[in-house]
Each structure stands twice: as C-alpha cells, then as structure tokens.
Structure 1
Amino acid sequence: MVMTGKNRAIVYSEFGDAGVLRETERDIVEPGPGEVRVRVVVSGVNPTDWKTRSGATAMAPMADEGQVPNQDGAGVIDAVGPGVTGLRTGDRVWLIMAAYQRPASGTAQEYTVVPADRAVPLPDGVGFEAGASLGVPAMTAHRALTVHEGAPPRLAPGALAGLNVLVAGGAGAVGNAAIQLAVWAGATVAATVSGPEKADLARRAGAHHVVNYRDEDAAAQLRSAVPAGIDVVVEVAAAHNAELNLSVLRPGGTIAIYANDSSGGPLAVDVRRNMVLNARYQFVLLYTVPRPALAGAATAVNAALTDGALRFGPEAGIPLHEYPLAATAAAHAAVESGTVGKVLIRVADSRNE
C-alpha cells in the first residue's frame, strides 16, 4: 500500500488494563481492493473492546505491530479501493466490526481502512455521535430480535406485531437499542432493570412495562403486565435470570443470549422445564453472524434511524459520555466500570463536516 502521511492513533502492544493504551503516529495507507478508508470523526467504546484489550476474549494472539482498539465508529470516506461499488469519497458512514480480524483497523485513530461491507451509509440528518453508537449495540439487538421461530429476516414496522418481548438490562446500550427497535417493529416490550434511575431510562427508550429484577415478586409483576407470556427474551445475564425467564416465557418462546453476568455463574439448564415450554435458546455473537444477516440488519437499523425510531441521548434513555482521543484509556475504564449510557471518543471536529 502507498503511504500518504501520518495518522494519530491509540494502540496497545500487550494485553492488560486500560493503562496499556498509548497514543502514537502511524502511516496513513491507501485502501486495497474492496476496501475504503474512513476519516474517523467519532469512535464508540463497547464492553467487547475492553474485554479484547484485556485479553479475556481476544480471538487471536497480539499482532506484532500492536492493535488499535474499538469496533464502532462513524466518519467520512476519503478514499475508495479498486472494485468498490455503492460507496464513494465524501460519503458519511458508520462502521461495523472495524477491528475484527484487522488489528490495525480499530476506530480509535484518525484514519482507518476497512472492507467496504463494514461501512454503512449514515442517513442524512443523523449525527456522527449516533453513527458511532450503532454498531455492536444496534446490530446485536437486531439479531436477538430476529432469531425466534417464524422471525422476520429483518425488522420493520409491524414485523413483531403481536409479540411480547422482554429486554433484560433495559438501561444498557444493547438493551436500549432492543427496546427501541422492538417498539418500532410493533412488539409489546417489557424491560428489567436494577433500580429507579435505570427504570426511567428504560421508559424513555419506550418500554411499556418496567420491572426491577431484584424485587421478590419480579416474575409476578411481569406475568401481570404481560399475561400471555413472553415470546422473546433479549438476555444480558443468562445465568442470573434463568429462573425469571422460565417463569414468564410463553410455550415456544426464545431466549436470545448475547452476554452472561459473571455474578450468576455458569448457565444451568433445567431440561424438563424447558421441554415443557418447548423453549429455544439462541446464542448471539456479532462476529460470527452470517454476512447476509448483518447486511439485512444494517438496512433495518438505517430504516429505524430514518423513521426517527432509533434515538440517542438522555431523552432516549441512553446518556452520551464523550472523551477526546488522548483520553481513550479513561473511556475504556469508564465502560469497564459499568458507566450507564454510551461512551464515545471524539476523534475529529465534526463541525467542519
């Protein structure tokens, strides 16, 4: 690739806590066949980013040249490689799995080169902050809402009409996206949270019913709110919520699991109770979702954005916390400590976009 300049980037050369992150300069490179180069405006931080950085969930050994963190981001295409169609220089885009199997392509840098199918056009009127908040949360939520029996391949208004959805952790980033997408698609949505402040966030996202899962009668509250039972559970703490889920799941229902709270220990499955319910467990990890499903999810997410049904900020139940690129370590530490809302890194000034 042809070197064209210097690129301010955050890198790490060993696994560990946020202290391993450091700022450096790297060469700006030209995109190869099927690739685009994106000038990053905002980078998003997710739990998957700090878990990979720590080495807990790293899928490959440390790259010799070190790694640039963060899967999500938004910016402007400033170069297009050979063979790319549908994207051009100047397009505003949001990114999906920028760093997956590409250690140099994380979004915590001024310029990143990614395969063209990981760059999605950002709808007009949607800011880069929202674009950087999509990736992992919105795409994971879409997948979790489309894996039940008879599920639509992609969400749209009315696609989940008549279904009852339970979103565990309704104040989290994935939970917030799941609530908003499910409501947009016509479902009745219940959410569980751990306290009144998070309950307020889940309601702002659009949840019709909100229950504190710590209440002794949480299952009874859910059964009262949704007497027909839950068709789909979007689950962030599979082991901890196993009993609650089986208490409210409708026969033939699906528990879509995208995470497990370590405090709950390993998931133990009660075979007989699940058999009686004809329950389905579907595990969700964005990195290995089939490409056609990812493309369909991106299309649906953009449709929800265009409809104004997928919103960001405290009024939508998802507070935004912004850090400068030089404070990427602090941003990672904030996510690792459980900061509620979406943590973003300002890489460039979007006022000139």
Structure 2
Amino acid sequence: MDTHPHRLIETPTLEVCGLEYRWDLERGSFTIADVPSVAFFRDSSLARLLIGFLTTLGPHRFSLMMLAEGQRSIDDDWGIIAAQPSFEAGFAQLAKYAYSAGWGRWELVALDREARRATFRIHNGWEGAIQRTTSLNYGIGLVAGKFTGFCQKLFGCTCWPRQTRFIADGDPHDELVVEPSPRTVSDELAALADAGLATNADLHRLLADLKASASARERALAERDRMLTELQDKLDIIAQQRVAIVALSTPIVQLWDEVLAVPLVGGIDAERASRLMEKLLATIIDTKSRFAILDVTGVEAIDAATADNFVRIIRAVQLLGAHGVLSGIVPAVAQTLVDLGIDLSGIRTFANLREALKSCLAEPVRSRRHA
C-alpha cells in the first residue's frame, strides 16, 4: 500500500517524429509537444460517441456541426503552420502531429494561390475509417472544417470544402477541394432551422444520397461502355476509310487496248506496294493487257524503299509477260535513283505519260500480240 500519497509518480515520455509524447500518470493525462491530448478506441468508444450525436442531430446537421467545430478548432494548428516559412512547410509540420496521433496521414496535393484553391488528401483518417466500419457516409466534417479554416486564413476569403473521394465508399483515401464560396456554416444551419423538420429530412437525404451514389456509379459504368463502343465504331469507320483512300490513291486506268496506266501520288510503302501489285496483276490478267505504265509524275521525292517497291512492281508485271514502263520521272527523282544505285536495267523510262503511251502504241501489233 502506498503510504506516501504526495510522492511524485514517474512521467514517461516518448519521441515520435520529433514530437514528445508525455504521460502524467498521477493526473491520468498526456500531451503531444505540450498540447493536451486524449486517446480513444476508434472503432468502439469514438464511433459510438459520434453515432449518438448523428442519431440525435441527423446526418446533414451533424456534418455541418462537425464542419463548424473544425473551423473553430484551428488556433493551435495555425500556430504550428505560421511558425514555418511557408504554408506548405507549416502544413507538413502539422501533418506530423496528425499521423502520430492517429488522425491519418495528411497530404497537401495541390495549392493554387492565384485561383485560391487547395486539394488535400487524408490517408486512413479516423473519420472515414469509422464511417467505413459503420457503413455510414456523412463526410469528414471535422477535418474538412480544419482545412477550410486554414484556407480562409491563407486566402483571406470565405471558403467551402468539397469532398471528392470517400474512404467510406471504398476509395483508397479521402480527398477534399477547398475553394472560395459564399456559403457559410451559419447560413446552412439557419436554412435547416427554417425547414422545421430538418432532422427527419436529413435522414431521408442520407438514404437518397446513398441511392444517388450507387446510381451515379452505374451511370458512369454505362457511359464508359457506351464510349468504348462508340470509339470502336469510329475506329472501324477509319479503317474502312483508309482502305477506300488507298484504293482511290492507286487507281488503275485502261488508256488503250492492252495498255494500263497507274498514276501514283505520294510515297509507296511496303503495304501499299503489296496492295497495288496484287490489284495490278489481277487487272493485267483480266484485261489481257501487254503494257502497264507506272506514272510517278506526282511523286516529288523518293527514298530507297520507295524506289525498290517501284522495281518490284515492274518485275512482277514482267513475270506475267507484260511490259512494265516508268513515266514522269522528274529530275530530282532521277538524281535520287542514280545516287541510290537503283538498278533500272531492262525497264523503259519516259519523261511523261504521253511519251510512254506513244511508245506503247508504236509497238508493232505482232510484237504486242506475241511478245
């Protein structure tokens, strides 16, 4: 038995993230960096306390009261922020108090001083965690009130929080956007008082909000599916248009009996060359043509791959017993062909389509029939 009632009892301390936790065992209290504090079992004692107030006040009124008290409770918090060289540094320092005391990890995601807008993120905050455990969702009013109070001091104007993510709904964290607004807690509470049946209305509103949230998610999923289907339809149309454009860009024209012409424009890549070759060879067989003129007047520049594709097409024409002819080679293309060392031996070339056609028509009939 202790016979010395006035003897000092040991006061243990613990340092966490640079903050001193001190317990006064004689008085049954403790402080965090000399700030008086209290600890609750979150999912039992604290949760039941909040649910009691929630049941009495109604969800909307309760959320507004939490928001109001959060704004009123920032004096010590702001003192910690103001002691630092910037708001960002001060908030980071205050966040140490938060996560070391079980308030979750606070994060300043974005701060736009010009637009007077700030975005905050709360990881594993106790308000959201309790709501997830109890299957309720009335918002993180107390923390939202604190962050709103911070922004009002920083921006010098009335602000209002807008929660965009909810742990209670399964999101990985709670998120708030605080921005200028004419709305105030006192005005909102006055409007509830004027309604008379605010508490009952708030309960109905909570149920409606839950249903609206589920409906909104279903609509979002349906909209996503619709957009995917629409995008696939557009991709199909683009593919069809591409095939049509390729066909139009390489027309095969019968200039005369047994004489075909293929006016080419732009580059001829391997895919386009393959399509053209297949179409040209089939047309030669169908029309029994003896001459195929590849007119490259519309080709202003050429590279080794394009030149090689020209040669491949003409060689394929020759394998069918027809004559492959090149026309319309401009000086720049001719110089490039020489520089690239392209082998055009055995391939007749002409300055323009007219000269190529005259040469084909000048071929003796016997030669054209039996060559």
Instruction: Calculate the TM-score normalised by the size of structure 2.
Output: 0.16
The structure carrying a bigger helix percent of its residues is: 2
Of structures 1 and 2, the larger Rg is shown by 2
Instruction: Calculate the TM-score normalised by the size of structure 1.
Output: 0.17
